[in-house]
Structure 1
């Protein structure tokens, strides 16, 4: 069956031409039951294979590691700087690629694992370079960041409500970490206390306070949502 106006092919169940809108049947006549030209149900979508994708990602991560290994061995057949590159690649793999092996990766578990991998990498750098700054500087800073971000992700996942309060508290805590970093720098490397941490501390404290205020004041929150088209 074809449209008398534009000639497009129509299904037997069409009431109007989908192209020009001309009525096909008289409205007083009943339409016969017929199969449509195309099935209405969607074709099944293939399920992604996370393990297959994880295998591809492993190969992609092994390529730069192998290249740097050969480059380090090229001159004197000894490993000098390969460990630094390999450690960074392993940290990137744990943070970005390791969750691909799981169907529903839980960020509450994988985020602390990423921070733990980064902490071990810093420990390796400290030992390989003969430094003494890991326990007095890197470990406390990484521990504080791990606690803050892990708590934030856990609250977002399991509480769900009060997101502005959670974000506000996170900003304020990060401001405190900036002050901790400068204090530990002064203590570990014997650097004079300059007071630069006060600026991020004040900025993050004000941003966190603003988010908490918006969480308390509903009218102000709705006004901001209208202004920002949220």
Structure 2
């Protein structure tokens, strides 16, 4: 029996190099027979990877089971009102947001965002139907949803042309500030208060500082290159 001169591992008589450090085995006292088989398997096994279609089927099964179960409970056990329609609508909304991007990897994010925005608007209208009140939907729900959709579309458009971290970061912080200001103004309008920014001014100030910092880094080539070199952006 031979031992590796480099790492000291005990070696099989049939191998020609150490399996750990790949040091060649040269022991004249032991002649390797050609007919002897190697102690290691000749074929390398490979675990089959999971397919996107399988993930889509799994998610679809979960959403369908939840929708059907709640519908049966609503019909046989709790028949007071049609609350299960809210659960069914939520399952449909989650299916639209999760399954198509997983099953179709080449699906355009901007198209998916528009479809998701439409589904959210429909679900809000469904909630308003059960709540018997559409006022908050017209003044808060739909405007905020449309604002978020527009901001996401802008971010995706910027990311398609400018994929640097500094550009995406400055765009993100600017959109966060815009969203907070819009939400506060919409709430004040819904409550009949004078339109002025209060808590959103704090978010706006922080985002402006961060944006100025990122834009300064972006405009100075040496600083930008140093940041990219150190942080691999």
Task: Calculate the TM-score normalised by the size of structure 2.
Answer: 0.74
Residues 35-44 or 70-79, more deviating: 35-44
- Distance in 2, Cα, partners of 1:229 & 1:50: 30
Residue by residue, what CA displacement relative to the aligned partner does 1:165-184 show, whole Å, maximum 9, x if unpaired?
A: 23312321331221111111
Tell me by how many angstroms 1:217 deviates: 2.4
1:216 alignment partner in structure 2: 219
1:83 aligns with 2:78: no
Q: Deviations over 1:149-176 (max 9, x none)?
A: 12212332x3244442233123213312
Match of residue 123 from structure 1 = 125
> Which residue of 2 is the match for residue 30 of structure 1?
none
Does structure 2 retain, via aligned residues, the 8 Å contact 1:8–1:19?
no
Quick one: distance in 2 between partners of 1:42 and 1:216? 52
The 5 A counterparts of 1:36-75 are: 43=45, 46=48, 48-75=50-77
Structure 2 vs 1, CA of residues 21 and 188 (structure 1 numbering), >3 Å: closer, same or farther? Answer: closer
8 Å CA contact 1:65–1:86 kept in 2: the answer is yes
Distance 2:85 2:10 in 1: 71
Match of 1:144 in 2: 147
Q: How does 1:178-217 map to 2 (within 5 A)?
A: 178-191=180-193, 195-217=198-220
Equivalent runs, 1:100-119 vs 2, <5 Å: 100-119=102-121
Maintained 8 Å contact 1:170/1:208: no
CA contact (8 A) 2:12 2:39 kept: no
- Write out per-residue CA displacement over residues 77-107 of structure 1, whole angstroms, 9 at most, x where no aligned residue: 2434222222222222211223222243332
Question: Could you tell me the TM-score, scaled by structure 1's length?
Answer: 0.75
- Per-residue displacement from partner, 1:33-89 (whole Å, max 9, x unpaired)? 999876898655635433333222111112222333233334552434222222222
C-alpha spacing 1:121/1:221, structure 2 compared with 1 (3 Å): same
Decide whether the 8 Å contact of 1:152 with 1:167 is kept in 2.
no
| Coordinate RMSD, CA, aligned | 3.7
In structure 1, how many angstroms separate the alpha carbons of the residues matched to 2:22 and 2:104? 50
